[in-house]
Amino acid sequence: MSPTASSPAVAARMSRQSSRDTAQEVAVRRILHSRGFRYRVNAPVPGIPRRTIDILFRGPKIAVFLDGCFWHGCPTHATSPKANAEWWRSKLDRNMARDLETTAHLAALGITVLRFWEHETPEDVARRVGHTVRPEQPVGPDGQFEANLGPSGTG
Ligand SMILES: [Zn+2]
């Protein structure tokens, strides 16, 4: 049985998880798509029912997860709700254990797993994903892509 939301902050976090596509996820996908990357969204994890990969590149076998800071225990932003503390602790521990299991499972299948935190900017996430998917892409001295950015890429 789940506890009810005990504060507005907790309620906000709970509702955030229920939406499949976070703002960060949408923004990251938009940037990648605009740079010519093609991928599957919410692809099933092979062999584990009811688990999905946020962004999957099938050819190069790269799975991208965008993890919510609260639900996945970000070391910077993890908080412990005081109400129902024990329930939350075990719930969040289970989430983190499941993340590790999913990562190990995919790695065993030869799939590279990239995990990012919710607090990372979409631009930074997209750049790192792009670099992993297309390592041959020219990269500038500051780590930025120099190719295929279009006219706005030089600013
Ligand atoms: Zn965080």
CA of 151 to the centre of ligand 1 (A): 32
pLDDT, position 106 = 98
pLDDT, position 32 = 97
pLDDT, position 122 = 97
Distance CA 38, CA 103 (A): 22
CA of 147 to the centre of ligand 1 (A): 30
CA of 93 to the centre of ligand 1 (A): 16
pLDDT, position 130 = 96
Count of residues making up the chain = 155
Domain map (residue ranges) of the chain: 21-137
pLDDT, position 127 = 97
The DSSP line for the chain is -PPPP-SHHHHHHHHHHHSSS-HHHHHHHHHHHHTT---EEEEEPTTSTT-EEEEEETTTTEEEEEE-TTTTT-TTT----STTHHHHHHHHHHHHHHHHHHHHHHHHTT-EEEEEETTS-HHHHHHHHHHHH-TTS-B-TTS-B-SS--GGGG-
pLDDT, position 10 = 63
Q: Report whether 118 contacts 67 (CB < 8 A).
A: yes
Distance CA 91, CA 108 (A): 26
CA of 136 to the centre of ligand 1 (A): 30
Distance CA 115, CA 64 (A): 6
pLDDT, position 43 = 97
Q: Report whether 119 contacts 74 (CB < 8 A).
A: yes
pLDDT, position 21 = 81
pLDDT, position 133 = 97
pLDDT, position 11 = 60
21-137, CATH topology level = Endonuclease; Chain A (3.40.960)
Distance CA 74, CA 117 (A): 7
Return averaged pLDDT per consecutive 10 residues of the chain, 155 residues in all: 59 56 94 96 95 96 96 89 92 95 98 97 97 78 47 41
